[in-house]
Amino acid sequence: MSGQLRIRMYRQGLGDCFLLTIPSEGQETHVLIDCGVLKGTRDAQVRMRAVAQNISDTTNHHLDVLVITHEHWDHVSGLLQADTIFNSLTIGEIWLAWTEKSDDELAIELRQRKAKVLKAIVSAAAQLKKMSGLGARRVAGRLGGLLQFYGVFGADGRRTTADAMAWAKGREQSAVRFLYPQQTFMVPGTSGIRVYVLGPPHEASKIRRSRPSRKSGEVYELAAEGTPDFGFLAALEGDATGTVASEKPFEDWFVVGEVSAGQNGFFTHNYWQEQAEWRRIEDDWLQAAGQLALQLDSHTNNTSLVLAFELPGTQRVLLFPGDAQVGNWLSWEGLSWTLQENGSPRTVTGDSLVARTVFYKVGHHGSHNATLREKGLELMASDELVAMIPVNRETASQMEWNMPFPSLLRRLEQKTKGRILDADEGMAAANPGLLSDAQWQRFVAQTDVTDDWIDYRITL
């Protein structure tokens, strides 16, 4: 490890878990960025305990920094599934986004809205599962898939993403830091490795902008007052027990209650006969939950803590964007830092950090809206660029997710000249032909691929 920084990507399934090992003056600094796997993964607990044990063994039971980018199960589950191992580790610092801060007004607003939306989606999913229609069952299945990101499906006392975040914030022996964009500081225990905080933006409008569109301003947002989604939320609030009443979307004078309808021959003949089931629409409004769930998922991704690590001397950058989506990426353009180095000022901008990226952790498993084009990948100009993709195609296919997105993957292959390390497929078996043989062999020498993880080393 002398003189080389090592990035280890674990191959536990569809999820993020990266361990950075940084040499400095005969010692090593260890930074863990996320640790989770998608809910429903086969043998998930066994896998995550094996990952945690390797982390513990590799770091001699001490993490200098634990970074949690955002509250999704595939980024935090290991903290709970392997809690006995993580509880035995000493952790110097824990880095979280400002969105987890208890006294930030915008963070409080976002958490309250998120809790309200999540409750509504869980309630709608439970109702849709009881319905016989194919459309309702399909929406219920998709809602279940999205709810897996929060670990909330089912009422059997299983722990959730909120429990993982509470565990991180409640560790009294660790220094918990809530990070804001435009902060910069040295990674503790290292000689000159500087970290820049790029996101999430401290602006609700940018957090809500989650995907590109052909029309300016056409984005997925969380429900707001006066929109149909807000009406949907109000309808789902139900009574104190959380019961969903099908008449909720309408004023009382529109409603024919089930008791009255049951005494009316027209309704019993035309709607309650088995062969007339397809005519019943009173529960169709619940299917609007699918759109709301997508908004919630994108909103949470856009609260990702985004970090750029600048290596000393060469100013090369390692970019870890979590699952940041459009609004988060766009917010980096306006960031700048003025540093004093050797008695002279040096200005660093968000765009320059992206341009100098030599290692890119591909966002959200290679999904279509988690790597920006002109303001993202096209800015990465280094001839050394390497990308790691934490993806599992089998799981993504089961969830009907197109990961990694084909056109993005093709462009990544071009920009990196084939230097892609894929958690699912490893690395290319042979030089794809975009590098000289000497360049390819140098890349191969920097890489180790095992069944459980992939290592990539960068000379400092």
Mean pLDDT score of the chain, rounded to an integer?
83
Query: What average pLDDT does this structure show over 153-161?
Result: 60
Omega of the bond leading into 212 within 30 degrees of 0 (cis): no
Percent of the chain with pLDDT over 70: 77
What span, in angstroms and rounded, lies between the C-alpha atoms of 119 and 160?
Answer: 13
**Comparison of pLDDT for 114 and 164, the residue scoring more:** 164
Kindly indicate the confidence band of residue 239, based on its pLDDT and cuts at 50, 70 and 90: very low
pLDDT of residue 238: 47
Q: By the 8 A CB rule, do 330 and 375 touch?
A: yes
Which long-range contacts does 232-240 make (Cβ < 8 Å, 24+ apart)? 232/120, 232/285, 232/288, 232/289, 232/292, 233/116, 233/117, 233/120, 233/292, 235/285, 236/119, 236/120, 236/123, 236/124, 236/289, 237/120, 238/123
pLDDT of residue 457: 97
Return the SS3 of 290: helix
pLDDT of residue 242: 41
Domains and CATH numbers, the chain: 4-106+159-213+297-459 (3.60.15.10), 107-158+214-296 (no CATH)
In terms of average pLDDT, the best of 95-99, 126-130, 256-260 is 95-99
pLDDT of residue 404: 93
Q: By the 8 A CB rule, do 329 and 367 touch?
A: no
**Comparison of pLDDT for 223 and 399, the residue scoring more:** 399
Percent of the chain with pLDDT over 90: 55
Q: By the 8 A CB rule, do 94 and 177 touch?
A: yes
Return phi, psi of residue 452, to 5°: -105, -20
pLDDT of residue 298: 62
What span, in angstroms and rounded, lies between the C-alpha atoms of 373 and 358?
Answer: 17
* Total-model pTM: 0.82
Q: By the 8 A CB rule, do 303 and 179 touch?
A: no
Q: How many CA atoms lie within 13 A of 370 on its CB side?
A: 29
Q: How many CA atoms lie within 13 A of 53 on its CB side?
A: 7
Q: By the 8 A CB rule, do 315 and 353 touch?
A: no
In this structure, what token pair is assigned to residue 18? 């990266």
pLDDT of residue 226: 42
pLDDT of residue 227: 46
How deeply is 427 buried, as exposed, middle or buried, from its count of CB atoms within 10 A (0-12, 13-18, 19+)? Answer: middle
Query: What average pLDDT does this structure show over 395-415?
Result: 91
Give the CA distances from residue 166 to residues 101, 160, 341, in Å, rounded to whole numbers and listed in that order: 11, 10, 39
What span, in angstroms and rounded, lies between the C-alpha atoms of 425 and 442?
Answer: 20
List CB contacts of 442: < 8 A, sequence separation 6 or more. none
pLDDT in tens, 310-329: 998 888 999 999 999 888 99
Closest by Cα among 41, 22, 44, 40 to 31: 22
Q: How many CA atoms lie within 13 A of 133 on its CB side?
A: 17
In terms of residues, how long is the chain? 460
In this structure, what token pair is assigned to residue 121? 């989606």
Kindly indicate the confidence band of residue 146, based on its pLDDT and cuts at 50, 70 and 90: low
pLDDT at residue 232 greater than cutoff 60: no
pLDDT at residue 258 greater than cutoff 50: yes
pLDDT of residue 398: 86
**Comparison of pLDDT for 284 and 418, the residue scoring more:** 418
pLDDT of residue 387: 98
Q: By the 8 A CB rule, do 344 and 91 touch?
A: no
Query: What average pLDDT does this structure show over 405-410?
Result: 92
What span, in angstroms and rounded, lies between the C-alpha atoms of 100 and 85?
Answer: 24
- The helix-helix angle for 228-237 and 105-129 (nearest 10°) equals 70
pLDDT in tens, 182-230: 999 999 998 789 999 999 999 888 877 765 554 433 222 333 444 444 4
Kindly indicate the confidence band of residue 274, based on its pLDDT and cuts at 50, 70 and 90: low
pLDDT of residue 154: 39
Give the pairing of strands 386-389 and 420-422: parallel
